[in-house]
Amino acid sequence: MAFKIRPYEARDFQAIHRLDQACFPPGISYSKWSMQYFVNLATADCLVAEDEKKIVGFLLAETNPPLAHIITLDVAESHRKRGVGSPPAGNRGAFRVPWDPIGTAGNGSEQ
């Protein structure tokens, strides 16, 4: 599968918010407000994965070099297990990290 990784743009907001709602149950997924808050942080770094112009995944992180905190990493169910969640080092650094869905996501309980 050919997918492209590119930086988030403001027009992607609805798509990433919908994807987060699909990836996590209510109470764990981020509210619009929380998601806006995080993407607008000066320290936020957000990348989206596109397949045929459709957003099929995104990584939202808060950077504090040399560290980064992954706020959320979401891949559409239809596109999982194909490497979207682990782009190779060189795209923007190695995003392949051991993750814990509960530990790294979901302090935005508002819907």
Q: Amino acid identity of 32? A: K
CB of 33 to ligand COA, least distance (A): 18
Taking contact as CB under 6 A, which single stretch among the options 7-15, 33-41, 69-77 is the one that binds ligand COA? 69-77
The values of phi and psi at residue 55, to 5°, are -75, 120
User: What tokens appear for 93 in the block?
Assistant: 């650094």
- Kindly state whether residue 34 participates in binding ligand COA, applying the rule CB under 6 A: no
Of positions 35, 46, 47, 75, contacts ligand COA by CB under 6 A:
75
- With left for phi above 0 and alpha for psi between -120 and 50, is residue 106 left, alpha or beta? left
3-state class of 4 per DSSP?
strand
> Are the CB atoms for 71 and 105 separated by under 8 Å?
yes
- Kindly state whether residue 18 participates in binding ligand COA, applying the rule CB under 6 A: no
- Kindly state whether residue 68 participates in binding ligand COA, applying the rule CB under 6 A: no
Report how far residue 104's alpha carbon sits from residue 85's, in angstroms, rounded to the nearest whole number. Answer: 15
CB of 10 to ligand COA, least distance (A): 22
> Are the CB atoms for 59 and 70 separated by under 8 Å?
yes
Of positions 35, 47, 48, 84, contacts ligand COA by CB under 6 A:
84
Of positions 80, 89, 93, 110, contacts ligand COA by CB under 6 A:
80
List of residues contacting ligand COA (CB under 6 A) = 23, 72-75, 80-86, 99, 101, 104-105
